[in-house]
Amino acid sequence: MGFKENLRDEISYQGLMIKELAARAGLNAGSVSNYLKENSSIPSADVAVKLASALNVSVEYLVNGKSHAESGKKYSPEIRKMADKLESMSSRDRKNVGALIDAICEDL
């Protein structure tokens, strides 16, 4: 995935509206919206830095979906939301969810 897809995914994951992100980044909402369009180009480096900073992610993450600390695997917003919920569960509940996932995956 490229910049616009990663930007779109991160906006969705964080539950932001374009105008909220634009305000955080000190940018025009129309400009941010343009970066999400099908035939859009990647913004200049200074704009990419502002967007990444406003989203609390690295520019590298927005460009290629990876941070320098990652192993290279990028999880979808849906999976990341599940992981966030798992982190808030008790250890016992996480073990139960893990057992359920293992049981479901046995047949895959």
Average pLDDT on 68-94 reads 76
Decide: 84 and 77 in contact? Cβ < 8 Å. Answer: no
- Identify the band that residue 105 occupies on the pLDDT scale cut at 50, 70 and 90: confident
Burial class (CB in 10 A: 0-12, 13-18, 19+), 92: exposed
Tell me the per-residue pLDDT of 5-27, one tens digit each, with 9 for 90 and over: 999 989 988 889 999 999 999 99
Tell me the per-residue pLDDT of 27-77, one tens digit each, with 9 for 90 and over: 999 999 999 988 888 899 999 999 999 998 888 888 887 664 544 556 677
- Confidence (pLDDT) at 7: 93
pTM of this structure = 0.65
> What's the gap between Cα 14 and its chain centre?
7
CA nearest 36: which of 8, 11, 13, 60? 8
User: What's the distance, Cα to Cα, between the start and end of the chain in Å?
Assistant: 26
Q: What is the spatial distance between Cα 59 and Cα 20, in angstroms, rounded to a whole number?
A: 19
- Confidence (pLDDT) at 71: 43
CATH class of 3-64: mainly alpha
